[in-house]
Structure 1
């Protein structure tokens, strides 16, 4: 029995369903929670133990709602009013003993259902692939080190570290906090941040009042802390809610609404023409049943019911193509907006630059030098004054860099392991290269308190207890901000008063360095005997450090592409104005005479005059800007009817990201809050990826328009031919099965090929189109009618020419006329796909359509299917086709190419789009 108990305790104790001892973790002392979960608050779990627990508890993820099974997708293909009409036509055929026609219509229904099933199933698979591309990381203690792991790998007992901007990835009991506040509105509806602590609470306290707990799906608004994970996956509070909402329906996207809108117009056009065809046929003596079959088949052929699926496939294909270029678009509807973006408000660090921040300049006392950090050789190369290493201020500079820092850095076996803010990582690299140990500093000076960095204060400070039981304050921040908190400066071995004159000298020196493109930070300290709450007073300046972040090599070309595409690029940064202007000039965003708008001079939006608004609209560089001012800037652009893309990485960027038409979060350095509210995530943080996404957005919308125009002009040509033949009581007409066959051959493959066409040559040289523009506007509706008319006229002319030139001595041969009409229409529609390029001034043979290999494959497949209808005798009998001579075939091919040439001529002469 003892062996069995030991086995249960060692193997099954960590199952979430057996966590009764910590079910009300908020009511238990945090040390007891750690003990019950058999973990270590300092070192966390071992890799082996976490793997064992993961195997038992399962992945930490919220299960998605029940997916639609392939069988249901297949059944849904038959739940269409048009398919019902087709089935009625088949039933009527069987009733009148037209067995071959009835069987053929059933076969067409099945083929249509299979094609629809395959397209919808593939669209679902494509969207699944997109969902798998995004993973949320979490920082935990494993094997005594703080490491980043996928949130799905979290297990009960993990020691989780969170800080401002992070999404909380599991339910956890807090064990250590530093000014920690969380936004729990997703769970509780409370809009104000919640102050967190580690004090135990009553067991019956409400969720909104559990101030010592963190909950999955909420966000850290401020500060940082450590917590022990108690629940994961569906056992979390968020999991409980997810169970109730898994089957909620997703609202239609704007694109789907646009498709529905113009489909309604098409239905009315179709209904009107079908009624005309039916009445004219009956009045001209055709059989009622035959005309009913023709009308139903015509209605089915005219309405492109697979259009929403093809559109979804095109979007999913384009989004996956973006994903291969490090862009994750979270919403299908965002693709439309991307194509219409005409303003991009972008951060500088990591987006325009490489985000490989390194220390490049150090100044202590009156000594200054440019430096290079050499990690492999653990050395710093001094370009100007190596004597800096002998100054006491340099020692304090290294100490503050290591202590006032939440990042981590290790260099082992020529492999760098880093996490945290890139600038803080750059500081740790400098400490490492100087031969000092960050771990030793942190062990010698234990952190006791912290004021986290914020975009409002631009300063960070930490309080540390040393081995002598005295306290050491370490602070870093923007030069002009931190110097305001300094009352003394370290010169030599002496701490002397920091006079206003000396402050001006330091500020001027930092300003000059910033103008050369360096990002300048000041570092200060203070020794104290008492633990203080206010860490930012009477500080002693140790020195300043300048950082460099090289521009991305491809950025200049990307900005030039934006300019040619009519997109204004605005750089918004928290950096010094001089640094921002230097970078902007290198990028071509600003000239020497252009002004940089400083955050201090930016009035609240409600107080802006027209002159102020015009000044903002003209500017391309904004420096020292806070999140509220970013929001005001987005509001102003939108007020001027501009479509705004906004980049952001921090929790404070969330309002501007949400307000923007396209919120763009950083994938590498972006907080989970920013990624959650954004519409698009850049996995590589590169500005060039934004440009690529806009280009792809324009391409996708263009492609949707192309296959919509193609489908409608082809289907409308069938309507016009049949309506003309019925009204004029011509000796020839298309049969119902022929209409269905034409629709099957010419609609599916070319439409899909158009949906994956690469971008047109000059797509980024056009002005952005309005986001509220219809898929098919008045100009394109006109083009559709003209294209349909040309195809209809050349097709009917082919029949008349054949009779006039080849068979004038004979009486009208209705079967031959029907065959010429049938094949001419098919080949005209197949060739019509090459008319779907709308680029001006581009040779026909150099268009994106002509160079699309999928179009050629689709054309070849359609021609083969068409010829099979002639070669395969049973199919030939069903379709009632028998061509008489090669001259008849010559007329068919000639007429088909004439329709292509006439449409091309109409486009060349600017008659049509």
Structure 2
């Protein structure tokens, strides 16, 4: 049995010969472990599952949601209203607290789901050789040293060091980001070889696409590469969003200010000889007035409306604050495979000795055509001989199949072979001769050949690496169907030109033979006729380039972070315009070699990061955040999950994304289109605008209500407005008026302005001045109205009713101004938000009811007022609206 010390010293086994791995793990490369050995190791190493993460219990996580300054303010508000006997209002406030607790609890619980999805990836069955006999066991029963057998279609159950691979290829895209299946062999590799380049290893959670293999389990459970990603997901911080950070600061300041004002009012009143009980009641009234009870509900509803709008644009939000976060994004770190690209290999160019052809369409659907240099659509039936033979070779020398599921075409087998089948469909190739024999592809051979029976004779088709196919050929097929001497130099030049564009190039060839006996590797050398080249890549999504440009217009930097090769990543980046404005390409190896002090400058100037590991993706996101950027990270694979969790907002792909990525993300794109992110950013900016408008609208009232109470205490006057009346104002106007701002349409040019500075305060100096101005107008207007009515002989109840209605009318007029913080309400259109008109109507009816309905008069201690009083109320409201309009025009640029 391997010692613990030795196992800890060996971080991986790719750099060891097979015989050393066998000795290290004390196993048999032919018979495997015995059952007693397996039982003993299972008791020592535990099951081959990812560990459950210890987390707080449900009750503690639920109570933890109360630990927030804004919730403290709400609790104080609820207690105050309950003390005042306003059970309905206190019930509403406590209801908001409960809703916030539940939402926060659900959000925190979802973080655990990402880890559960990772654990599910290794809950499979495995074929293992024990005591010399192959058997099937639950993958959880695998132990280090087990001899594991894999074949096409299997999910790898543990990290394996290959012993006997046979034409083995593995799809590792979910783990490494590599877009093509990786051919495996057992050759020893250098110790520093990156995970994505360890061709002698199979990693847990990856998928075998072709061939078979036998490997020794060298790591199980948490010790696998998948286990390392599990650890990274669990350790990545689930960061607060810019909105929640700013609201937390705002709530703390608000709490301190409210308590300070209440304490001052109480102390001043008692010092002047007033009754402590009356002063306490007045201090409570001040606190009730200053607390914006409607703010949490407004935030939740505004974000929920943003969620609904985004869902209509194919973006599903899993966490409410993520709506606003997108609007403040300064950098989008995007994966390549499946995010910027289709994640479907596509032949995009064909070259033959008779000419070059462009292939339109992307993905596995047969939408597209083969076009000549003159733009003529080519079909297999009417095509020149070299093109037809190239199409036929690609389709015949092929082990893949195309299937349809849920309306989507999918490839069973190697994606590159699937791309060749799609090309044949685009050219309407009728069919291929029946196959008789096969020389399979191998990493040593680097080509595949098939023998087919064709009208009484036999034809051989071959495809593979350009150099190997040319080595088998002595002739090439001319446009007229006549063979000519091979111009290998011309073929090589064209292949290099295509490869320089980031394309994967395969050559095809054919020949006719008299009998099956001529179909051997030795017999094929020098007998094949070269027909052409097929060049393919995983193409960019149709709208991705425009989306990248739009993000740049909006001041958002876009950086590609992928596990794919640098050449492939560079080719896609050029097609998308990521390298048009400068910015280089760095590989994971080059990143690892950077000193810490060099890292910030490197990520600033680099647009494409290729061949990076999950740890490096996470480090890049953390480095950008350390600079103060608000980072959105997109991805679809298991390898993206830690960075998705760490980012300010993780964006997962809905169609092609793994469940791990979806659970780690804050947002899921149901159409997998990078362009949808642009739409989501636009919606996010609109949401933040509307939240800001609500705050700018509601705070003046709360400040003015508190200051009016404070002024009355300081001068020893009766309170111009009672606590119950303050609650009426705060609760009804927030619902009927303020929440209507959540439905405000997005302003023109919203995607042409730079992202918000992450360090910028929630409210700018200009907006604070406006809030102070409106507060002063409310304080002065309500005090004047209260004193005027008393001086004119009105009762105390009538004077308070006049002050109450003045507060509401000024808020109502001010609401129209807040529909835009910089533009006139006439320029944005009076009827562009019909919700506001409905809310205004409802509020006016409420004011008439509280003023004239007897039961309301008894509840709120109001009294009827005359027409002349209403005219004075409306006059003050109109004057306040004009002053705000002048202020908006004079100070538009500083907001």
Normalised by the shorter chain, which TM-score bucket?
0.5 to 0.7
CA contact (8 A) 1:163 1:225 kept: yes
Q: 1:279 aligns with which of 264, 267, 272?
A: 267
Q: Distance in 1 between matches of 2:582 and 2:90?
A: 67
CA contact (8 A) 2:687 2:742 kept: yes
Structure-2 change in CA distance of 1:860 and 1:549 (3 Å) = farther
Q: Distance in 1 between matches of 2:413 and 2:774?
A: 59
Equivalence for 2:11: none
Structure-2 change in CA distance of 1:274 and 1:422 (3 Å) = farther
Query: Matched residue of 1:386: which SS?
Result: coil
Query: Matched residue of 2:806: which SS?
Result: helix
Deviations 1:240-295 (A, max 9, x none): xx9xx99xx99866644432332121111111211232334445665443332332
Q: Distance in 2 between matches of 1:295 and 1:511?
A: 77
Asked if 1:876 corresponds to 2:861, the answer is no
Cα shift at 1:544: 1.8
Structure-2 change in CA distance of 1:722 and 1:600 (3 Å) = closer
Query: Matched residue of 2:655: which SS?
Result: coil
Q: 1:430 aligns with which of 423, 427, 438?
A: 423
Equivalence for 2:505: 521
Q: Distance in 1 between matches of 2:80 and 2:642?
A: 55
Query: Matched residue of 2:748: which SS?
Result: coil
Equivalence for 1:726: 713
Q: 1:735 aligns with which of 700, 705, 722?
A: 722
Q: Distance in 2 between matches of 1:261 and 1:162?
A: 57
Q: 2:884 aligns with which of 885, 891, 903?
A: 903
Q: Distance in 1 between matches of 2:278 and 2:706?
A: 16
Query: Matched residue of 1:758: which SS?
Result: coil
CA contact (8 A) 2:499 2:505 kept: no
Q: Distance in 2 between matches of 1:419 and 1:698?
A: 42
Q: Distance in 2 between matches of 1:419 and 1:738?
A: 70
Equivalence for 1:693: 680
Q: 2:475 aligns with which of 465, 478, 491?
A: 491
Matches within 5 A, 1:196-211: none
Structure-2 change in CA distance of 1:674 and 1:447 (3 Å) = farther
Deviations 1:147-204 (A, max 9, x none): xxxxxxxxx9xxxx9999x99999xxxxx9956699999xxxxxxxxx999xxxxxxx
CA contact (8 A) 2:636 2:653 kept: yes
Q: Distance in 1 between matches of 2:407 and 2:82?
A: 73
CA contact (8 A) 2:174 2:639 kept: no
Q: Distance in 1 between matches of 2:97 and 2:598?
A: 57
Q: Distance in 2 between matches of 1:116 and 1:660?
A: 28
Equivalence for 1:41: none
Cα shift at 1:489: 4.3
5+ long unaligned stretches in structure 1 = 1-28, 31-61, 92-101, 142-155, 171-175, 186-194, 198-211, 228-237, 452-459, 532-537
CA contact (8 A) 1:362 1:546 kept: yes
Deviations 1:824-850 (A, max 9, x none): 11222333333334543x331344997
Deviations 1:9-31 (A, max 9, x none): xxxxxxxxxxxxxxxxxxxx99x
Equivalence for 2:135: none
Matches within 5 A, 1:615-764: 625-627=610-612, 631=617, 642-649=629-636, 662-671=649-658, 675=662, 678-730=665-717, 732-764=719-751
Deviations 1:58-94 (A, max 9, x none): xxxx9x99999xx9999999x9786678667766xxx
CA contact (8 A) 2:473 2:529 kept: yes
Query: Matched residue of 2:724: which SS?
Result: helix
CA contact (8 A) 1:490 1:542 kept: no
Q: Distance in 2 between matches of 1:332 and 1:413?
A: 30
When structure 1 is superposed on structure 2, of 708-717 and 595-604 the one drifting more is: 595-604
Structure-2 change in CA distance of 1:569 and 1:109 (3 Å) = closer
Matches within 5 A, 1:376-455: 381-382=378-379, 386-388=383-385, 395-400=392-397, 402-403=398-399, 405=400, 408-410=401-403, 425-432=418-425, 433-436=428-431, 445=438
Equivalence for 1:798: 785
Structure-2 change in CA distance of 1:325 and 1:848 (3 Å) = farther
Equivalence for 1:833: 815
Q: Distance in 1 between matches of 2:672 and 2:93?
A: 43
Cα shift at 1:734: 1.6
CA contact (8 A) 1:256 1:308 kept: no
Equivalence for 1:99: none
Q: Distance in 2 between matches of 1:254 and 1:168?
A: 40
Query: Matched residue of 1:734: which SS?
Result: coil
Equivalence for 1:209: none
Equivalence for 2:286: 298
Matches within 5 A, 1:162-311: 178=168, 255-282=243-270, 287-304=275-292, 307-311=295-299
What is the TM-score when the length of structure 1 is the normalising length?
0.63
Q: Distance in 2 between matches of 1:169 and 1:831?
A: 67
Structure-2 change in CA distance of 1:727 and 1:668 (3 Å) = same
Deviations 1:782-821 (A, max 9, x none): 44333322222222233345566xx2xx4x7433322211
When structure 1 is superposed on structure 2, of 746-755 and 597-606 the one drifting more is: 597-606
Q: Distance in 2 between matches of 1:413 and 1:273?
A: 63
Q: Distance in 2 between matches of 1:801 and 1:775?
A: 38
CA contact (8 A) 1:524 1:539 kept: no
CA contact (8 A) 1:253 1:332 kept: no
CA contact (8 A) 1:489 1:542 kept: no
Structure-2 change in CA distance of 1:665 and 1:818 (3 Å) = closer
Cα shift at 1:601: 13
Q: Distance in 2 between matches of 1:367 and 1:893?
A: 81
Structure-2 change in CA distance of 1:382 and 1:751 (3 Å) = same
CA contact (8 A) 2:701 2:775 kept: yes
Cα shift at 1:297: 3.6
CA contact (8 A) 1:834 1:850 kept: no
RMSD of aligned residue pairs (Cα, Å): 6.7
CA contact (8 A) 1:734 1:818 kept: yes
Structure-2 change in CA distance of 1:780 and 1:167 (3 Å) = farther
Q: 1:822 aligns with which of 774, 796, 804?
A: 804
When structure 1 is superposed on structure 2, of 649-658 and 786-795 the one drifting more is: 649-658
Cα shift at 1:768: 0.9
Structure-2 change in CA distance of 1:168 and 1:750 (3 Å) = farther
Q: Distance in 2 between matches of 1:75 and 1:619?
A: 42
Structure-2 change in CA distance of 1:425 and 1:561 (3 Å) = same
Cα shift at 1:310: 4.0
Matches within 5 A, 1:83-162: 105-113=86-94
Query: Matched residue of 2:384: which SS?
Result: helix
Q: Distance in 2 between matches of 1:718 and 1:757?
A: 27
Cα shift at 1:522: 1.9
Cα shift at 1:713: 2.3
CA contact (8 A) 2:352 2:386 kept: no
Query: Matched residue of 1:763: which SS?
Result: coil
CA contact (8 A) 1:759 1:848 kept: no
Cα shift at 1:505: 4.7
Matches within 5 A, 1:344-359: 344=332, 346=334, 359=347
Q: Distance in 1 between matches of 2:101 and 2:486?
A: 74
Q: 1:765 aligns with which of 749, 752, 775?
A: 752
Cα shift at 1:888: 0.6
CA contact (8 A) 2:588 2:612 kept: no
Query: Matched residue of 1:765: which SS?
Result: coil
Cα shift at 1:876: 0.5
Equivalence for 1:3: none
Structure-2 change in CA distance of 1:126 and 1:722 (3 Å) = same
Q: Distance in 1 between matches of 2:647 and 2:509?
A: 40
CA contact (8 A) 1:750 1:858 kept: yes
Q: Distance in 1 between matches of 2:113 and 2:369?
A: 40
Structure-2 change in CA distance of 1:289 and 1:384 (3 Å) = same
Structure-2 change in CA distance of 1:824 and 1:183 (3 Å) = same
Cα shift at 1:627: 3.4
